[in-house]
Structure 1
């Protein structure tokens, strides 16, 4: 593990992970002050200073996270997860084949990782050494850290893996702001943003030369029958509207679409509503009518996603 991979969110000095407390060395602080960040018992580290919080409890709520866990565990979005992992393995596999990565570690950032449904699947690919799981929601990181710990994947659990062929893949669950990432610039080989913020300049700063960016968004027609049942007028997803903002920093190298037919009983439909903005944007009577009908007949809709694969351009390889 590169000791200089992380930086202090307060003074930007190099930040050193440890099993109990992370500490910066204070080298960039005017008074050489060292800042400590305790590791929570579940295994996450809170690197979100109070001044970076926009609310008392930013990010997804506990209720939303639990609903999403149940819904995703049922496999409804597994085709998307499989596609993302397939693309990630292909990109990093090509890199390992074309360059000498034997003596360097592969670092990947999953931004807006939530409770880690996609993060844990990425970890299973066996091709990433350090997987930074970042989200502003503390309840989400609690769940991700607990799962990572149960699977023996937390960074401090890797110290005992001394076998020659042991998989020393390490997950670092961090509560942090996407706009103020506590990471050294040009240290990530790839970034995934799955239904999460798109920050072109920050992503370019984080990535190594020729680093990769995987973005997943809802596609045109995503959950269309559901939205038609909830709203009087439906605005279509403009999936690629963010691409021009990435153009100065990234080259689009591939686009993939995935569609899944969903047949949702009432409990799964309730979870889907809870984990999406539809939970509070739709009128209560529309939600109740929809859930009532699903008690007798499963609700049918389609999940449609688009996945963009981008690479940092040569012009921005050093800045």
Structure 2
């Protein structure tokens, strides 16, 4: 088993390949990007930002890390790893399978993938997120002497990856940009998209949105450049038996900001709750 950081980065300013020289990534035009002391590289130019501090806040990242490390979404991580390995891992030769988690958060699912890779297989991993707080948290958990993943601050709308360089792209509860995913994937590569099902966290949503109509599963729309390989629905009951776990679950989701003040206050009083976890894992092949 071999796991290494992904190498085929592209300059976010001109799209040219980046080469690493010590602790600096440079393109042929001379654009340079320093590796931070935590081990990540910021490839999100100011002109590609929609705010001064885009993405999840430091508090949201911390809540997500606590919640995920408690193992509540381990079945989701296992299902994603199975989807990644559902096809042949690599072509002939010794080239590692390049895998990007686009919207990786603090790296939970990518670390799960690294721990699940079969023997005699090679992976080159990259985690990208628009939140610098998420990438800092992810990079801090990697081994600085022998890192497993390349951690990058960047945007799904302009992936800093050379075209046709990846074998797998994960999009976990994130913001898919299919034209970019199609650009960076090799023909035959897989996009694995994980989406919330209609009943996902329904019991919590019923509390914070008392007048909200139930969500409905939306039909799949086939993105250009892809063909549908299959969809798996994972559903299970999850019991949270302390108020801190409930608070972390709410804080790590967009529902925290969408809920009314009254809804958040009612959720804050919860000491325990059983919620439905329902996710849809969709596999698309790059044609």
TM-score, scaled to structure 2: 0.91
Q: How does 1:36-185 map to 2 (within 5 A)?
A: 36-91=32-87, 94-96=88-90, 99-100=91-92, 102-126=93-117, 127-149=121-143, 153-154=146-147, 170-185=148-163
Q: Which has the higher helix share?
A: 1
CA distance, structure 2, for counterparts of residue 36 and residue 225 of structure 1: 48
Aligned residues: 280
Q: How does 1:204-223 map to 2 (within 5 A)?
A: 204-223=182-201
**Unmatched segments (≥5 aa) in structure 2:** none
**How far apart are 1:104 and its partner, in Å?**
2.0
Counterpart for residue 279 of structure 1: 256
Counterpart for residue 265 of structure 2: 288
Higher relative contact order (CA 8 A, sep 6+): 2
TM-score, scaled to structure 1: 0.82
**Unmatched segments (≥5 aa) in structure 1:** 27-33, 155-169, 314-319
Task: Decide whether the 8 Å contact of 2:64 with 2:249 is kept in 1.
Answer: yes
Q: How does 1:158-307 map to 2 (within 5 A)?
A: 170-241=148-219, 243-246=220-223, 248-264=224-240, 265-292=242-269, 294-295=270-271, 298-307=272-281
Q: 1:239 to 1:24 in 2, by over 3 A?
A: farther
CA distance, structure 1, for counterparts of residue 237 and residue 5 of structure 2: 44
Task: Decide whether the 8 Å contact of 2:5 with 2:126 is kept in 1.
Answer: no
Structure with the greater alpha carbon radius of gyration: 1
**How far apart are 1:136 and its partner, in Å?**
0.5
Task: Decide whether the 8 Å contact of 2:5 with 2:150 is kept in 1.
Answer: no
**How far apart are 1:245 and its partner, in Å?**
4.7
**How far apart are 1:307 and its partner, in Å?**
0.3
Task: Decide whether the 8 Å contact of 2:199 with 2:215 is kept in 1.
Answer: yes
> Deviation per CA, 1:34-60, whole angstroms, max 9, x where unpaired?
111110010000011111111000000
